[in-house]
Amino acid sequence: MSQACGVDFGTSNSTVGWHQSNQPALLPLEQDKLTLPSVVFFNAEDEEVSYGREALANYLAGYEGRLMRSMKSLLGTSLMDGQTEVLGKSIAFRDLLGQFIGELKHRAEVSAGQAFDYAVLGRPVHFIDDNRNADRIAQNTLEDIALDIGFKEVHFQFEPIAAAFDYESRISKEELVLIADIGGGTSDFSLVRLSPQRAHVLDRSADILGNGGIHIGGTDFDKYLSLAHIMPLLGLGGKLSNHTDIPSSYYFNLATWHTINQVYTQKVGRELADVYRDIQNPEYRMRFERLINLVEDRDGHWLAIKAEEAKILLSDHDMVNLQLERLRCKQVSTVCSLTIEQMGLQSAIGHLSVSIANAVSAVIQDAGIRPDQVDTVFFTGGSSGVRGLREQIAAIVPHARKVEGDLFGSIGAGLGLDAARRFA
């Protein structure tokens, strides 16, 4: 029985791959589910910690406490050296990541019925864009955490390369494949030559023609969708009495998963009260009151979940109607609702889509490959389903076959294959 596994610690969801003959590639991590949402909830009422779907359910049920999500986005940033307060105690962000990844390891071991001493960890092509030092620090931090929680030895593999290994296990002839991995925090791309004959070679460096990526992913789509359509309901875009804009920093923090908790401080509460007194327009006073109430109720993560819900629904529908029942103010007693059309999503995230498409073109150009030489585009990552984005990428290689992998599981499965080969 292999004591090696592949760990895909994702911004939004995590998986663990384990390669065994005639067995599923991924281990169940939450009842029968193969993914564990990368979420931790510290329940202040019961002084308990929950993870994944249970954590989200407890938070949405209204329990007092602290929700943490998109923790991977902290790697390589200055925040990683900081602390936050949960259950009345300070905890280092590094320990918070260790707590979640340790839970991921524990659940995988329970599911497999054995210990895992060795692991291949997935990593984005760039943790931090255009900063090699920060990128190195991010990987070293993740390696230290993995060793601290009990792994004896770890290796790293680029996430799109891991997805390539998963796809390679199902093909019958050689292909030049563009792997498009669009996850919660990053979009990564690799050009890889794959074949059944090459699958058993440990050193595949000669088959990797190009790698690239950009620090844009699904949480950024959520953020800009929220800023364009939801945050104006809370006063974004309004004016103060001196005709200057209402400060936008509160809205940007609320729209960004890993900075939501920054608006819950007493200092911000006092600032919001001062701003409210300086708004003369009745409509924007009403909207800003919603913001104050949202912050007082600590419903920022709920609002971010609603933005994510809208993005997901707009992948399959032309229009979505969001019920925003927790947005309240004295002047309006009816439930606040918001209709967002497909064009509204495209307008909000258009600049992100262009940057992602440019990253794809750069990978192909740097590899010295003509677009018409690419045989297949293999899509993976939960955010690759966003409508319009996939079409924009596919248009760069118009002659290539389009294949959709397991959007949430291909990377974990490929990491499991890589771990079995490396630690055989």
List, as one string, the DSSP characters of 182-243.
Answer: E-SS-EEEEEEEE-TTGGG-S--GGGEEEEEEES--HHHHHHHHIIIIIGGGGTTT-B-TTS
Burial 175-208 (b: 16+ CB within 10 A, else e): bbbbbbbbbbbbbbbbbbbbeeeeeeeeebeebb
d(CA 411, CA 199): 16
Domains of the chain: 4-172+405-422 (3.30.420.40), 219-347 (no CATH)
From 126-130, 253-257, 364-368, the region with the lowest mean pLDDT: 126-130
Span 339-356, pLDDT tens digits: 999 999 999 999 999 999
Q: Is the pLDDT of residue 22 over 80?
A: no
pLDDT band at 202 (very low <50, low <70, confident <90, very high): confident
Q: Nearest 10 degrees: CA dihedral of 187, 24, 206, 364?
A: -30
Q: If you average pLDDT over residues 87-111, what whole number do you get?
A: 94
> What count of other Cβ atoms lies within 10 Å of the Cβ of residue 51?
21
The confidence band for 76, taking pLDDT boundaries of 50, 70 and 90, is: very high
pLDDT of residue 360: 97
Segment 69-73 mean pLDDT: 92
Q: Are 122 and 411 in contact (CB under 8 A)?
A: yes
pLDDT confidence of residue 1: 58
pLDDT at residue number 188 = 95
Closest CA to 153 of 125, 124, 121, 126: 121
Task: Give the integer Cα–Cα distance in Å for 87 and 94.
Answer: 17
Query: 102-111, 144-153, 165-174, 322-331: lowest mean pLDDT where?
Result: 322-331
Confidence of residue 130 (pLDDT cuts 50, 70, 90): confident
Instruction: Calculate mean pLDDT across residues 399-417.
Output: 93
Mean pLDDT score of the chain: 93
Better pLDDT: 330 or 98: 98
Between 385 and 180, the higher pLDDT residue: 180
Using the predicted structure, report yes or no on whether residue 254 has a pLDDT greater than 80.
yes
| H helix intervals, 40-79 | 52-60
